[in-house]
Amino acid sequence: MSVAPSVSYSITVRLEVPSRGRAVSDLTHAVEQAGGAVTALDVTPYRYERLRVDVTCAARDTDHAEEIVQSMRAIPGVVVNKVSDRTFLLHLGGKIETNVKVPLRNRDDLSMAYTPGVARVSLAIAANPDDVRRLTVKRNSVAVVTDGSAVLGIGNVGPYAAMPVMEGKAALFKRFADIDAWPVCLDTQDTDEIVRSVRIVMAGAGAAGTAVLKLLLASGASDVVVCDDQGAVYPGRPGLGDSLQWVAEHTNPSGYAGNLAGALPGADVFIGVSASNILTGAHIATMARDAIVFALANPDPEVDPDAAGEHAAVVATGRSDYPNQINNVLAFPGVFRGLLDAQSRMVTDDMLIAAARALAGVVSPAELGPHYIIPSVFHPDVASAVAAAVRDAAGGRHH
């Protein structure tokens, strides 16, 4: 079945034609015979016995557009002066801009909007951080972030080529929700570098929590706050044992000393390996937009998954009756298969990180979505993919 002409492949062709005869009608006929669709026609006198004609038409793709141009060029007496791709014209200079909401007409306006007056506002926010939403654009702003590795249907095109798509998303935010969105195209596809920019809050500082924490830190995370039943772990907190002292020395760079609920506002990720029902959906609502929640306490998670899902972009639990079940059977069979194949006598962080990345890689980009970030324990490729990654990280080969 042939594809219909689309405005996304629309071109405007500027031509010269004889002012007598059927030149103009021949142009439209040629476009239609070539399978195009004429959407606009502008005719103006040009020179003696000549007309300038701008023909705007839709094509099926870029090759079809060239066929249409050649069909018009083949008409006797027709001269093609210029061909413009309307989609590219629309993108010239980008599709979005920053507008100023306040007048900057004189020195008084400038001294309030910028220095020295703006310093008073900054100091007020420093004294009361909650005012940032009232006194800045933050309350109506989002970042549209990509590393260019999975852009719409065109794949890994890099950050520069991703920019038009991100601009388009930002324009849609403004047009349909009046949200100010800013494209942020990261010039890196190094996941370690991206992880370093994420703020993580953890609940649980026991054996499981510490093991998870060590892998996060080894993967490059640098802004992690760990909470136990006494609140945040921080240097100088009374009663820290050796394990918690290590946690205190390697996390919480801001020295936060409050409780779990107070650590969540603005966080990008919550990881719970602690106790059931210690949070509510209202707590998750304070996290950053498109937050990720791993509530892994059993048999009931730290927060009700349905309540968390009202505010978070991704929710994972240890339960089989919800999407994104995190179950240790996803890992240990493959990990030990890889260790045995490599004849390794130790388990390193590099091996476990390789296993985690292999596990994530079982879900293809086409399959990946908020409700499917990790494969089922019954997926046939899980154990073999994890085993291969561990074996390679251990420097061994399959026997």
Active centre residues (catalytic): 114, 169
Establish how many alpha carbons lie within 13 A of residue 174's alpha carbon, considering only the half-sphere containing its beta carbon.
Answer: 17
- Distance (Å, whole) CA 63 – CA 37: 15
- Distance (Å, whole) CA 149 – CA 155: 6
Enumerate residues 6+ apart whose C-beta is below 8 A from 7.
39, 58, 86
The vertex-161 CA angle with 156 and 165, nearest 5°, equals 95
H/E stretch holding 151 reads: none
For residues 41 and 24, the answer to whether their CB atoms sit within 8 Å is yes
DSSP state, residue 129: G
Distance of CA 378 to the CA centre of its chain: 29
Distances (CA, A) of 21 to 24, 50, 77, 136, 213: 8, 11, 10, 64, 80
Instruction: Name the residue among 34, 80, 87 with its Cα closest to residue 53.
Output: 80
- Distance (Å, whole) CA 64 – CA 44: 27
Distances (CA, A) of 257 to 66, 233, 254, 341: 66, 7, 9, 46
H/E stretch holding 313 reads: none
- Distance (Å, whole) CA 284 – CA 270: 9
- Distance (Å, whole) CA 148 – CA 49: 52
- Distance (Å, whole) CA 187 – CA 159: 6
- Name residue 384's amino acid: S
Q: How many CB atoms lie within 10 A of CB 16?
A: 17
